[in-house]
């Protein structure tokens, strides 16, 4: 029977070092979640940059899916696997365990890194990580310690190289709450995906349909297509700039120097829109831009 060994813990808690020492010389496949995260960022076009908000969540979710599929494939091939993961939440662990149980006959164990403050601080210094140690400790507090009810065969606590079997009393409520959270998350993801699809279709339709063009300088308004606007000199998405992002919104007769975009990108200031610094007219423009392209379909919906 194959074994899948998860090694989990907070940043710089010693996961990679433990794997290198504990599994040295063993014929075993090591799959690190961070490799899959970077692959997800690359495929999404972010490269070395880390996205934020919904974009980051989608990348992390894709990385977890790829990581899990790779684990299952290795187990099916008769290989033992070590998987490095953060695994802060029970719902993330349960997702893996459920799929592994369905796909392969394997023993599932987890090692939780619980370093002393001294060892942890040494790890942080060696890796030259920025930030206060208290911030790293707060990450550790966020970890929900694994419970046998999640489906683990063995749970180990690792403290400065000392390994201790820790099988707490099974708590059914942990798995119940985790599955509830997963169901809610799945529903939210589906709704967000449907909304993204609708927005994508709407943006694509803006290439051919007529919509309101508002000049933020002179106040001119025209209900025309993107091609007509471009031919008449409008500085407007989708031909120039992007819907929902700050940029000039002008007709063919007005220049860029009197736009909100020009004001925000003035030399010597941060390119950040602060509502309290906007005039009433600029505030209308900004709110309309944020709600594009929906705000351009019906006149006066600002």
Q: 77-88: per-residue pLDDT in tens?
A: 999 999 999 899
More confident residue, 196 or 66: 66
Mean pLDDT throughout 197-218? Answer: 95
Asked whether 300 and 254 are in contact (CB, 8 A), the reply is no
The CB density around residue 195, as the number of other CB atoms within 10 Å, is: 10
Measured between alpha carbons, how far is residue 267 from residues 212, 262, 271 in Å?
Answer: 32, 10, 9
Average pLDDT, the chain: 92
User: Long-range contact list for 240-244, CB < 8 A, 24+ apart?
Assistant: 243/203, 243/206, 243/292, 243/293, 244/289, 244/290, 244/291, 244/292, 244/293
Per-residue confidence (pLDDT) for residue 115, from 0 to 100: 93
Asked whether 230 and 213 are in contact (CB, 8 A), the reply is no
Measured between alpha carbons, how far is residue 134 from residues 80, 140, 249 in Å?
Answer: 36, 10, 46
Per-residue confidence (pLDDT) for residue 300, from 0 to 100: 59
Backbone phi, then psi, for 111, in 5-degree steps? -110, 125
Backbone phi, then psi, for 5, in 5-degree steps? -110, 115
Element (H, E) at 223: strand 221-225
pTM of the predicted model, to two decimals?
0.74
In this predicted structure, the answer to whether residue 137 has a pLDDT above a threshold of 90 is no
Per-residue confidence (pLDDT) for residue 51, from 0 to 100: 75
More confident residue, 277 or 213: 213
In this predicted structure, the answer to whether residue 186 has a pLDDT above a threshold of 80 is yes
Report percent pLDDT > 90 for the chain. Answer: 78
The candidate with the shortest Cα–Cα distance to 289, out of 273, 270, 277, is 273
Report percent pLDDT > 70 for the chain. Answer: 99
Asked whether 171 and 144 are in contact (CB, 8 A), the reply is no
Q: Domains in the chain, please, with CATH?
A: 2-189 (3.40.50.300), 207-296 (no CATH)
In this predicted structure, the answer to whether residue 63 has a pLDDT above a threshold of 70 is yes
Residues paired with residue 83 on neighbouring β-strands, in sequence order: 6, 31
**Do strands 210-214 and 221-225 pair parallel, antiparallel, or not at all (unpaired)?**
antiparallel
Mean pLDDT throughout 121-146? Answer: 88
Asked whether 214 and 281 are in contact (CB, 8 A), the reply is no
Mean pLDDT throughout 41-66? Answer: 85
Length, in residues, of the chain: 302
In this predicted structure, the answer to whether residue 164 has a pLDDT above a threshold of 90 is yes
Backbone phi, then psi, for 101, in 5-degree steps? -60, -35
């Amino acid at each position: 029977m194959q074994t899948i060994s998860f090694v989990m813990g907070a940043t710089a808690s010693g996961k990679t070092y433990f794997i290198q020492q504990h599994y040295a010389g063993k014929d075993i496949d090591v799959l690190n979640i961070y490799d899959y995260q970077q692959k997800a960022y690359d495929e999404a076009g972010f490269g070395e940059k880390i996205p934020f908000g919904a974009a980051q969540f989608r990348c992390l979710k894709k990385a977890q899916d790829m990581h899990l599929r790779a684990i299952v494939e290795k187990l099916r091939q008769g290989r033992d696997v070590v998987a490095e993961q953060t695994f802060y939440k029970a719902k993330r662990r349960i997702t893996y365990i459920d799929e592994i149980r369905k796909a392969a006959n394997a023993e599932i164990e987890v090692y939780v890194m619980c370093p002393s403050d001294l060892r942890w601080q040494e790890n942080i210094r060696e890796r030259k990580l920025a930030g206060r140690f208290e911030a790293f400790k707060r990450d550790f507090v966020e970890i929900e310690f694994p419970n046998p009810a999640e489906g683990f065969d063995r749970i180990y606590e690792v403290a400065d190289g000392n390994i201790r079997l820790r099988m707490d009393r099974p708590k059914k409520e942990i798995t119940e709450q985790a599955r509830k959270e997963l169901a809610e998350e799945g529903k939210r993801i589906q709704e967000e995906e449907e909304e993204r699809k609708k927005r994508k279709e709407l943006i694509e339709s803006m290439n051919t349909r007529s919509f309101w063009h508002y000049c933020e300088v002179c106040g001119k308004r025209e209900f025309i297509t993107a091609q007509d606007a471009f031919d008449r000199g409008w500085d407007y998405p989708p031909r120039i700039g992007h819907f929902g992002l700050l940029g000039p919104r002008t007709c063919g007769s007005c220049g860029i120097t009197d736009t909100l975009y020009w004001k925000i990108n003035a030399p010597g200031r941060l390119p950040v829109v602060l509502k309290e610094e906007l005039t009433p007219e600029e505030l209308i423009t900004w709110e309309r831009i944020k709600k594009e392209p929906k705000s351009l379909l019906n006149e006066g919906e600002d």
